[in-house]
Amino acid sequence: MNDDQPLDPAQAGLGDMDPQAFRAHAHRLVDWIADYLAEIDRYPVAARVAPGEIKGALPGEPPLAPEPMARILADFERRVLPGITHWNHPGFMGYFGITGSGPGILGELLAAALNVNAMLWQTSPAATELEELILDWLRQLLGLPPGFFGVINDTASSSSLYALAAAREALDDLQIRRHGLAGRPDVPRLRLYASEEAHSSIEKAAIVLGLGQEGLRKIPTDDTFRMDPAALAAAIAQDRAAGWRPFAVVAVVGTTSTTSIDPVPAIAELCRRERLWLHVDAAYGGCAAVVPELRWVLEGCEHADSLVVNPHKWLFTPIDCSVLYTRRPDMLRAAFSLVPEYLQTAERGAVTNLMDYGVALGRRFRALKLWFILRYFGREGIAARIREHVRLAHELAGWIDAAPDFERLAPVPFSTVNFRYHPRALDAADPAAELRLEELNRRLEAAVNATGHTFISHTRIRGRYALHAAIGNLRTTGTHVARLWTLLQQLAPSVSS
């Protein structure tokens, strides 16, 4: 992208970018993106910049006059791109292995161009109806029964917040929507439950909803990091006896650290008996249910009151796209629907107005990209890709298991592997050795990431510092996983010295 170009016709006047100028700029940008995607493995995965370096290389004040688009794009390439960590790189295996895709990018481009706001049915009927349709498609792909209503939010953190707001609203004797929680002697302390491995977003939701961190009780997990239903039952009984009012349980299908799967059938049965709202966080793991032989991961979820699954994690959808399903849309609406006169429309009652189901009023046309993706890959294509990621993860796990100086730290139900370098000479029973192992693995993580060929992250499992490799990028193949393994083995000895 070279930068010496005149201004577009009309750029210095009023109005938008001239459509013919848009055409020319967009074609050039498309070529750049196609090249970028074709050559993505020539970039270092993680950005090699120091804090403040990107900001420092750009002017501190906005320009007075218009600038040529070519110059702006050239500055992107020169000044911004070096500060990008390439989530598209096939060697990116940090956090969850999220992935966009070609059809997803096309969907985002078209949605940005249309720029409709899907707040009301009337403000673009197709945006609402395509969202309804496509979320029913996804429901079928996941093997969930009919009766689940879906709505797209930005992230799982928002989806879980909205679900728990609905769960709180379902305590209808308390009329929390109207009276709130503060200063009410008639309201007991409220509690929700999740395992100690659940995502921090659940705790954040408890804070926002006015339940406080103490309003979330963390339940211990078993040897495979799954919530212990007996411990959950005991906690609920204990809390009831102490005057708390339990109201919801969050079960996780694919926890963030170890991707463990809580025993949803047992938890669902407990929730039924105790009349508690069951919310399932399947943001990552739920995507795997598209694969027939992995459908079991959502076993029991048919009883959930709400469930979140994120197509932007492992269904090839550019960020952001989180789907909240609920069997109780009435409660979501009871918690959130507020319709001032200026949003009243003649169709209200006959149509779905998606603004009624969450905090955000303005809503992007996110259904479009998901529709493109589900059709472009098809049910079989999606399943084949997820199956391959799981296969690659098991291959890596096998290599780790066979290596005397490495150890795996958790089972691999999906495509994420937690492990550490553990030279035989170090006895983990010795507390000093544990500190030494953390130091070694921090160094190994940094060394592997510094190569630019791969990017892994870390977590802590039962106090132990764990390296975390998540395979979920559409470009990742056996070659890239093998390269990670080679780098780990090659670099491990050097971090010990």
Kindly identify the residues of this chain, within the stretch 142-161, that bind a second copy according to CB under 8 A. 154-158, 161
> In the sheet that 322-326 helps form, which strands lie side by side, from edge to edge?
149-153, 322-326, 306-309, 277-281, 245-252, 190-195, 216-219
Q: State the nearest-atom distance from the C-beta of 130 to a second copy, in Å.
A: 6
Determine which residue in the list 210, 220, 292, 398 makes contact with a second copy, applying CB under 8 A.
Answer: 210
CB of 414 to a second copy, least distance (A): 15
Of 292-321, binders to a second copy (CB under 8 A) are 312, 316, 318-320
Helix axes 156-169, 200-208, angle to 10 degrees: 50
From residue 209, alpha-carbon distances to 180, 191, 203 in Å are 10, 11, 10
Cα(195)–Cα(93) distance, rounded to whole angstroms? 25
* Window 190-209: residues binding a second copy (CB under 8 A): 190, 199-201, 203-209
Based on the shown chain and the rule CB under 8 A, indicate whether residue 5 belongs to the binding site for a second copy: no
Q: Is residue 459 part of the contact set for a second copy (CB under 8 A)?
A: yes
Asked if 336 touches a second copy (CB under 8 A), the answer is yes
DSSP state string for 215-261: GEEEEPB-TTS-B-HHHHHHHHHHHHHTT-EEEEEEEEBS-TTT--B
Rounded Cα gap, residues 87 and 476, in angstroms? 11
* DSSP 8-state assignment for residue 351: B
Nearer to a second copy, 154 or 222 (CB): 154
Stretch that binds a second copy, among 181-189, 264-272, 292-300, 399-407 (CB under 8 A): 181-189
Quote the CA–CA distance of 398 and 392 in Å, as a whole number.
10
Q: Looking at residues 12 to 71 of the shown chain, list those that interact with a second copy (rule: CB under 8 A).
A: 12-23, 25-27, 29-31, 33-38, 46-47, 49, 51-55, 58, 60-67, 69
Site for a second copy in 238-257 (CB under 8 A): 243-244, 256-257
Q: Which of residues 346-375 bind a second copy (CB under 8 A)?
A: 346-347, 350-351, 359-364, 368, 371-372, 374-375
Nearer to a second copy, 353 or 491 (CB): 353
CA 459 – CA 482 distance, rounded (Å): 22
Q: Which of 147, 234, 380, 493 binds a second copy (CB under 8 A)?
A: 380
Task: Output 340 or 431, the one with its CB closest to a second copy.
Answer: 340
- Residues touching a second copy, count (CB under 8 A): 180
Q: Which two tokens stand for residue 139?
A: 């429901």
CB of residue 497 vs a second copy: minimum separation in angstroms?
21
Is 185 a binding residue for a second copy by CB under 8 A? The answer is yes
By CB under 8 A, name the one of 9, 78, 172, 184 that touches a second copy: 184
CA distances from 179 to 187, 198, 277, 317, 481 (A): 10, 30, 21, 40, 55
Please report, as residue ranges, which positions from 255 to 284 form the binding site for a second copy (by CB under 8 A). Answer: 256-257
Query: First vs last Cα of the chain: how many Å apart?
Result: 45
Residue linked to tokens 């395979």: 471
Q: Which two tokens stand for residue 258?
A: 């170890």
Considering the rule CB under 8 A, would residue 447 count as an interface residue with a second copy?
Answer: no
